[in-house]
Amino acid sequence: MAAVNHEVEHLIEIRNIGKDYQSGDEMVPAIRQMDFAIDDGEFVTIMGHSGSGKSTLLSVLGGLNHPSRGKVFIDSLDLYDLSSEQRADFRSEYIGIIFQSFQLITYLTVLENVILPMAITGLKRKEKEQMAMDVLLKVGLASKADRLPDQLSGGEQERVAIARAIVNQPPILLADEPTGNLDSETASEVMELLTRLNREEGLTIIMVTHNPEISVYSNRTIRVQDGTCLEH
């Protein structure tokens, strides 16, 4: 792969990022200007009101949304200098993503949902099942591996989404409002799981939320407003 910049010192760096969406005749500036760096092992919250650009930022960081301006470096690699195929390969190895709606496949069992991202690994079926069971054990759902997603509670579905995001053992986890649909008790269980993955496994986590109560679990908060960062 080309696109390595040896001057990049942090696991994740964004430089002068901007993102405009075309909406009819109008350009919507979802990200006006953002710059920050995140180190290996950090647990960072991106906090801001609805419409401030959080989901856009997360999808740009995740290699899913080409910025209009600026650069994203992950492990010194210029993410958007890669071809879309190279970027997809890089993403499946490096970045786990939990979307705002869990996006579980409703007609597949919990186990099958967790096995899905391993399609690219070339592992044998038995090995994939074993790895999926290991990660389901880690999130406390091994006994529900054969259920369908709609036979689970919201918190359990969230944990399946987490299991699916980390099954390929990526160093980075991105989570968009992971507790947005959960009651506060279930939300703290999910946050404790994320905290444990960060502390015990060294997973670097970037989590988006609009809820200040959720940000206390992380080590650092980056506040966003109208497409810019207020502090970090």
Ligand X SMILES: Nc1ncnc2c1ncn2[C@@H]1O[C@H](COP(=O)(O)OP(=O)(O)O)[C@@H](O)[C@H]1O
- Residue written as tokens 């989901």? 55
Measured from the CB atom, the residue of 167 and 224 that comes closer to Mg ion is: 224
Residue 52 as a binder of Mg ion (CB under 5 A): the answer is no
Contact residue for ligand X among 6, 7, 25, 50 (CB under 6 A): 50
Measured from the CB atom, the residue of 38 and 224 that comes closer to ligand X is: 224
Residue nearest to Mg ion (CB): 55
Measured from the CB atom, the residue of 51 and 171 that comes closer to ligand X is: 51
Report in angstroms the alpha-carbon separations of 170 from 162, 191, 203, 205.
12, 19, 8, 11
Residue 59 as a binder of Mg ion (CB under 5 A): the answer is no
Q: Are 224 and 54 in contact (CB under 8 A)?
A: yes
User: What totals of helices (H) and strands (E) does the chain contain, helices first?
Assistant: 7, 10
Helix, coil or strand: residue 124 = coil
Residue 178 as a binder of ligand X (CB under 6 A): the answer is no
Residue 113 as a binder of Mg ion (CB under 5 A): the answer is no
Residue 209 as a binder of ligand X (CB under 6 A): the answer is no
Q: Which helix (H) or strand (E) holds 43?
A: strand 43-47
Which range touches ligand X (CB under 6 A), out of 3-11, 43-51, 74-82, 85-93?
A: 43-51
Residue 180 as a binder of ligand X (CB under 6 A): the answer is no
Residue 26 as a binder of ligand X (CB under 6 A): the answer is no
Cα 103 to Cα 87: distance, rounded to the nearest angstrom: 21
Q: What secondary structure letter does DSSP report for 19? A: E
Residue 192 as a binder of ligand X (CB under 6 A): the answer is no
Residue 48 as a binder of ligand X (CB under 6 A): the answer is yes
Q: What is the DSSP string of 84-119?
A: HHHHHHHHHHHEEEE-SS----TTS-HHHHHHGGGG
The token pair at 58 is 């997360």
Which range touches ligand X (CB under 6 A), out of 21-29, 66-74, 101-109, 128-136?
A: 21-29
Residue ranges in contact with ligand X by CB under 6 A: 21, 23, 28, 30, 48, 50-56
